Chains A and B, each alone.
Chain A
Amino acid sequence: MLKWLNSRASETQVTHGQRLWLYVFAVIVMLLLVAPTLIVIPMSFSESQYLEFPPETWSLRWYRNYFGSPEWMQATATSLKAAVLTMLVATPVGVFAAYGLHTSRVRFVRLAYLMLITPMMVPVVLVAIGAFYVFVQIKLLYTLTGLVLAHSVLALPLVVIVTGSALKSYDMNQELAARSLGAPRWKAFLTITVPQIRFAIVTAALLAFLTSFDEVVVAMFISGGDNPTLTRNMFNALRDQIDPTIAAISTIMIIITSLMMILAQIFGRNPSDK
């Protein structure tokens, strides 16, 4: 131990002992980053009205509450539907946009790129009230279509950025080769380019799903009526009291998110890094 403390830690002759404070600090911060969310999982299995850790008596009470509630079930269904549809809309639209911007060398590409990433820069509250205003006019307020449209706009920047940077490191000459051998442009794109940027596309799709699934503020304004989203209902519940049912829902949300991550790892693996 002592030997390790006095051994060199880097190129600058600093020893591990001199850096001990950094190690302790980093471990504490890493714990603080991960622990708060994870601690909610065991708490959700508590019998008590007050969330305890560790629970004195374990029970599935709050899960029964959640699965037995038509409102929560409906909200979960809305959220999942919206997230899947957002993924299905934002991914192709975003990938085509990224491809179009990457290959066309017209003058306004920079401007178009800037416009496509603005939804990320504009405070989400403004996106929400803006969408609310437009959707009242075109009768999309409180509809799934409206929600998917708004969530897709929020997801677009991520899709464009992720696939755009993959296209940048991809050698377009491969597509040219395919085309010189007679493949039409779309075929060259689908059979040569897409498989090679697959990892980015899957990541982008996952990000689109999560953007919609986690989104609160836009959903607050334009989902509602008969189909509020899960996050909208959660947010309203959080403002009122600390309901342990939310702990159960949180646990389920963590599971869904983790599943998406694992799926992305399985299906999105880059063939070159096996």
Chain B
Amino acid sequence: MTDASLDPHQCEGLRRDGALERLKLFGLSSPALLMVLVVLVIPLGWLFYVSFIGADGQFSLENYERMIKRKSYSRIFVTTFQVSLLTTGLCILIGYPLAYFMSQLPNRWANLALITVLVPFWTSLLVRTYAWLVLLQKQGLVNQWAISLGLWDEPIKMVHNMTGTLIGMVHIMLPFLILPVYNAMKAIDHDYLKAAANLGASPRRAFWTVFFPLSIPGLLAGSLMVFILCLGFFVTPAVLGGGKVIMVSMKIVSNIELFVNWGAASALGVVLLVLTVGILWLASRFVNLRSVTGGGH
């Protein structure tokens, strides 16, 4: 604007043109935004509204009161958190060492190892859940092999309970943990470790004081992803839990399918959503969420 060779009117016009152009470009995203608005945002708003409507059609808090008062509801929340925490914990225990192993391999081998993580990632959720149902059933392979190896004598019940649910969920969630952790580990500069070794650190000490802290952002991002996905998970616990492990999302579905109780389902939905968003918000203050969503603007 201070450029003397341009007349201020022209400047103003150019700026307006630019703004219009940017707005037009932004307009390119309007079909996508409209779709999300219609299919997701408006219904969520409606759900919020319905959750405050009582059986008599008037405003009431009865849907929320029920959740606090009834034991069965609090048990569902406890189960949901239990399953989510256990799954996340097991994924960390199993996934972290595997990611570490892969990060230490030469590239060609690492890519091969990565395929074993990506193949299940790409395979249908339902197919994998079915596979575990088949393997873990009473006459299933796991029981057969364990008995022939002498690990146990009688077939053990491993599906339609917590064990089966956890096995299935850990299998499905592992790639979500491994991939971000692996990426974080690959980005660690190995010179730091060399330096630590040169200064006399033992391998263990170099790992815990140099490598591990540097991998924490990836670990947090992956764990958060797994935990959030677990909270709202439906398919695997519904099939492998066999009705014995009831999570919030399953209760929402049964409230609608069996009892056609939209008020109760909405209230549960609102709580689930608030929990999810709340945890994400809380985590966003410590974790760079862009590493979870793959970037953004």
Chain A residues close to B by CB (< 8 Å): 9-14, 18, 22-23, 25-26, 29-30, 32-34, 36-37, 39-40, 43, 50-51, 53, 93-94, 96-106, 108-110, 112-113, 115-127, 129-134, 149-150, 152-153, 156-157, 160-162, 164-165, 168, 210, 213-214, 216-217, 220, 231, 234-235, 238-239, 242, 246-247, 250, 253-254, 257, 261
Contact = CB atoms under 8 A, between A and B. Distances in A.
Interface string B218-235: 000000000010011011
Interface stretch (B9-17, B39-47, B67-75, B148-156): B39-47
Contact of B171 (A12, A26, A36): A36
A150 to B, nearest CB: 6
Contacts of B40: 118-119, 122, 127, 130-131, 153
Given A106-B23, A121-B277, A214 B47 contact: no
Contacts of A123: 231-232, 234, 249, 269, 272-273, 276
B276 A254 contact: no
A103 to B, nearest CB: 5
Given A12-B197, A40-B134, A22 B101 contact: yes
Given A125-B232, A253-B124, A261-B122, A131 B39 contact: yes
B258 interface: no
B28 A100 contact: yes
B127 to A, nearest CB: 4
A257 B31 contact: no
A33 B130 contact: no
A2 to B, nearest CB: 19
A98 B22 CA distance: 14
A9 B29 CA distance: 50
Contact of B174 (A26, A33, A133): A33
B94 A29 contact: yes
B32 A122 contact: no
A34 B39 contact: no
A252 B294 CA distance: 31
B297 A250 contact: no
Interface of chain B, helix or strand or loop or mixed? helix
Which of A100, A123, A162 gathers most chain B CB within 10 Å? A123
Contacts of A153: 35-36, 39-40
B119 interface: yes
B232 A239 contact: no
B216 interface: no
Contact of A9 (B28, B32, B104, B294): B104
A231 B239 CA distance: 13
Contacts of B130: 40, 234, 238, 246-247, 250
Contacts of B132: 36
B34 to A, nearest CB: 9
Nearest to B105: A26
Contacts, number: 273
Contacts of A18: 203
A102 B116 CA distance: 34
Given A12-B201, A12-B203, A149-B39, A43 B134 contact: yes
Contacts of B113: 26, 30
A240 to B, nearest CB: 11
Contacts of A216: 125-126, 234-235
B253 interface: yes
Interface of chain A, helix or strand or loop or mixed? helix
7 contacts: A22-B97, A33-B116, A97-B31, A122-B276, A164-B295, A253-B124, A261-B122
B141 interface: yes
B120 A217 contact: no
A63 B44 CA distance: 42
Contacts of A36: 128, 131-132, 135, 171
Nearest to A250: B127
Contact of A116 (B36, B141, B269, B280): B36
B239 to A, nearest CB: 5
A132 B128 CA distance: 27
Contacts of B133: 238, 242
A106 B20 CA distance: 10
Contact of B273 (A11, A37, A115, A122): A122
Contacts of A234: 126, 130
Given A37-B131, A123-B232, A130-B43, A96 B32 contact: yes
Given A10-B104, A12-B196, A125 B234 contact: yes
Given A26-B97, A37-B128, A100-B27, 11 more contacts: A12-B206, A34-B120, A40-B131, A102-B297, A104-B26, A115-B36, A125-B252, A127-B39, A216-B125, A250-B127, A250-B131
Nearest to A157: B293
